[in-house]
């Protein structure tokens, strides 16, 4: 099967990672990443990552096109709002199909003040003020007209507090009533004809850095209201592909619209968990393909954790030697999932996996088969208690063992890189 090559840019941004995770296992696609930072999350992804200059660099487009042509990349998937605006404006200059919605739609959605006023007759409209002099109630917020999420948001609690900003240039901001209640995201999909085909609302329970770190399905009432609002938005603004909107509940538990985006969101893994891969469906829709949706009925809860990902830049080896008890098999008598993933990554890279163990289990082969790990080893070496592990290890190898003394001995005798299971991050 001929694969379509897609470049996700920027790949290390949260929305970029969601696009990559959504597409990388599709048999008809080959995914690449690119970013403009020297040190970026994209460097840790298990796909080819390219470097590009910042979009403000005068040579950006020429270097991008050179990269696209050299690697025969047919599509580019912009992931960041600012990048999306740039690619929307420069579509005709790019030597690949840009996976974005309609230019007219994106132009409308670039400025909050512009599109929110389309809904000023609706119950979900948040009152806006032309300037601070016209504010008749507090608190209010100042939000960037061009931007996304809560970036540079300013909350003003009183008339006296507003005097701080009286002589400042606020033309880049919109002035709105502050809405104090629960916050929701509604993930939507419209087909290539603009027909709404999917709507799902989730509560943003914990929010950090503008991202929902804990989400779960909204209740039935909110789901129904979200469907009504999504139809109103679709009628006013013709959406093609993936989009979402966010709202809050005011003191009277009434929905108030915050913003609308025509792009993949960083937490669309929520819908993906429900069987609806929005980033991939978006790719199909933008290519005028018919789609089918089969959403599972399970309620979903999603959390995000800040976990370290480690990349050993100079860790080169041909053979991987590993201990068994309290290492590959944890002290709780379970397979260590981090370690087994590390082993399978090594297998994908054509490394040899050698079990080197002093286990005292009576039927050792049966013990390995119990955990379904017998066949992953190229070689199994069972040692007696007084044997020295370093005698069985070749150079150009790494050695994983929970025992400090055995790791220390192997390193001193052979100079071989050793790892404790706790040093493995995935």
**CATH: 3.30.450.20, 3.40.630.30, 3.40.50.1000, 3.30.930.10. Which one for 319-423?**
3.40.50.1000
Burial class (CB in 10 A: 0-12, 13-18, 19+), 23: buried
Whether domain 4-100 has CATH 3.40.50.1110: the reply is no
Q: Indicate the SS3 state at residue 90.
A: coil
Instruction: Look up residue 188 and give its two tokens.
Output: 């939507």
Give pLDDT, residue 209. 64
Burial of 385 (0-12, 13-18, 19+ CB in 10 A): exposed
The DSSP bridge pattern shows strands 140-144 and 173-177 to be antiparallel
Question: For each successive 10 residues of the chain (426 residues), what is the average pLDDT?
Answer: 90 90 92 87 82 94 96 95 93 96 94 93 94 91 83 87 86 92 96 94 81 86 96 95 96 95 92 93 95 82 76 83 95 93 93 95 93 96 93 94 94 93 83
Taken as a whole, the chain contains a residue count of 426
Q: What is the pLDDT of residue 152?
A: 77
Domain map (residue ranges) of the chain: 4-100, 127-177, 183-303, 319-423
Q: What pLDDT, on the 0 to 100 scale, is given for residue 149?
A: 67
319-423 and 4-100 share a CATH fold: yes
A 10 A CB-CB count for 92 gives 6
CATH tag for 183-303 (out of 3.40.50.150, 1.10.150.20, 3.40.190.10, 3.30.470.20) = 3.30.470.20
CA distances from 264 to 13, 68, 356, 363 (A): 12, 22, 46, 52
């Amino acid at each position: 099967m001929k694969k379509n090559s897609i470049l996700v840019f920027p790949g290390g941004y949260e929305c970029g990672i969601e696009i990559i995770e959504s597409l990388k296992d599709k048999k008809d696609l080959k995914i690449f990443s690119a970013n403009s930072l020297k040190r970026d999350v994209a460097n840790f992804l298990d796909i080819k990552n390219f470097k590009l200059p910042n979009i403000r660099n005068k040579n950006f487009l020429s270097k991008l096109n050179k990269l696209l042509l050299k690697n025969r990349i047919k599509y580019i998937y912009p992931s960041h709002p600012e990048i999306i605006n740039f690619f929307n404006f420069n579509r005709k200059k790019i030597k690949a199909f840009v996976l974005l919605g309609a230019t007219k739609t994106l132009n409308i959605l670039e400025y909050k003040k512009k599109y929110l006023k389309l809904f000023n007759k609706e119950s979900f409209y948040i009152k806006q003020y032309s300037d601070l002099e016209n504010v008749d109630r507090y608190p209010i917020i100042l939000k960037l007209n061009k931007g996304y999420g809560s970036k540079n948001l300013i909350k003003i609690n009183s008339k006296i507090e507003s005097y701080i900003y009286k002589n400042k240039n606020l033309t880049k901001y919109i002035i709105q009533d502050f809405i104090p209640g629960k916050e929701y995201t509604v993930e939507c999909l419209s087909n290539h004809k603009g027909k709404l085909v999917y709507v799902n609302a989730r509560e943003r329970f914990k929010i950090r850095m503008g991202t929902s770190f804990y989400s779960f399905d909204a209740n039935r009432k909110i789901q129904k209201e979200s469907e009504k609002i999504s139809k109103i938005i679709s009628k006013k603004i013709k959406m093609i592909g993936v989009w979402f909107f966010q709202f809050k509940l005011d003191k009277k538990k009434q929905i108030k619209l915050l913003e609308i985006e025509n792009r993949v969101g960083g937490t669309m893994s929520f819908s993906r968990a429900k069987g609806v891969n929005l980033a991939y469906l978006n790719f199909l829709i933008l290519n005028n393909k018919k789609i089918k949706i089969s959403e599972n009925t399970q309620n979903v809860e999603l959390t995000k954790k800040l976990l370290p990902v480690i990349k050993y830049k100079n860790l080169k080896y041909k053979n991987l030697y590993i201990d068994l008890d309290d290492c590959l098999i944890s002290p709780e008598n379970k397979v260590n999932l981090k370690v087994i993933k590390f082993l399978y990554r090594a297998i994908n890279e054509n490394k040899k996996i050698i079990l080197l163990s002093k286990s005292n289990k009576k039927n050792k082969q049966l013990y390995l088969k119990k955990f379904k790990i017998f066949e992953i080893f190229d070689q199994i070496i069972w040692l007696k208690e007084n044997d020295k592990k370093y005698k069985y290890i070749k150079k150009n190898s790494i050695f994983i063992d929970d025992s400090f003394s055995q790791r220390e001995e192997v390193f001193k005798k052979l100079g071989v890189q050793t790892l404790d299971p706790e040093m493995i991050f995935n």
